[in-house]
Amino acid sequence: MAKSKKKKNKRKLNKKRFYTFIIIFILLVIFIYKLFNTNIKNIYISGNELLSDQEIIDIAKLKNYPNSISNLSFAIKNRLEDNKYILSVKVSKRSFISKVYIDIKENYPLFYYQVENKTILYNGDKVKEKFTVPTVINQIPNTIYDEFVKKISKVDKNILNRMSEIEYAPNDVDEERFFILMNDGNYVYLTLNKFLSINKYIEMIKSFDNKKGILHLDSGEYFDVFDE
């Protein structure tokens, strides 16, 4: 009896799938090549006042617009946050990672503490550099100091810039009382529990026709006009 021969079916090459694979592979190679050879072309910085754009670029090590892959967002963020004048940073990249966006939250100076000859920053750190900030002219007790720093850090920058000198000035009624000399020649008395009321300073002064005097925010809210 003759043996039956088994037929072997040859699988034909699917040219369409093959060419599709080749095209995808080539595109992937081109994409990876371009990705690893993309340099930073534009840097956009926001939120900075204390530090200049160039200082931030230098701190971030982006001065010569280097390769973007070698300078990942988290690496740029870490470099910047190592600086004592920067609290936090948001870094993002767009346009095929060639554009870098840096949003800065600065650790800006609050006041110069004359007793220690140091500037106190937003987070409470102390530095030797001097800035155009109000000067605290006398010692604040340790039991009050931390709360004072917390309160003054919440004062609007516009109002903070209007302060010239701050004196710790307790009385028989309140040991958390302060006296502030403003740049416009007015005086302000206030206590820690009412400290943030000074954010309304401009509105209050306008209501007194911009006359000069003493604004009492320590007990009530009234204004003693200087004798003309």
Beta bridge partners of 22: none
Instruction: State the pLDDT at residue 61.
Output: 96
CA distances from 115 to 53, 120, 163 (A): 33, 12, 18
Per-residue pLDDT, 185: 92
> Which pLDDT score, from 0 to 100, does residue 68 have?
93
Only one residue has tokens 């005086």, namely 187
Identify the pLDDT of residue 221.
83
In one-letter notation, the amino acid at residue 164 is: S
CATH number of 36-106: 3.10.20.310
| Cα 160–Cα 186–Cα 114 angle in degrees, nearest 5 | 50
Instruction: Enter the pTM of the model.
Output: 0.82
| Residue-range domain boundaries for the chain | 36-106, 109-225
Q: Which stretches of 40-137 are DSSP H helices?
A: 53-59, 73-81
pLDDT in tens, the chain (228 residues): 555 555 555 566 677 777 787 888 787 777 776 767 789 999 999 999 999 999 999 999 999 999 999 999 999 999 999 999 999 999 999 988 899 999 999 999 999 999 999 999 999 999 999 999 999 999 999 999 999 999 999 999 999 999 999 999 999 889 999 999 999 999 999 999 999 999 999 988 888 887 899 999 988 788 888 866
Count the neighbouring beta carbons within 10 Å of the beta carbon of residue 54.
10
| Nearest C-alpha neighbor of 51 from the set 101, 108, 102, 92 | 108
Domain 109-225 sits in CATH 3.40.50.10960 = yes
Query: What span, in angstroms and rounded, lies between the C-alpha atoms of 112 and 106?
Result: 17
At residue 4, the pLDDT reads 54
Q: CA-CA distance, 116 to 65, in Å (whole number)?
A: 41
Same CATH topology for 36-106 and 109-225? no
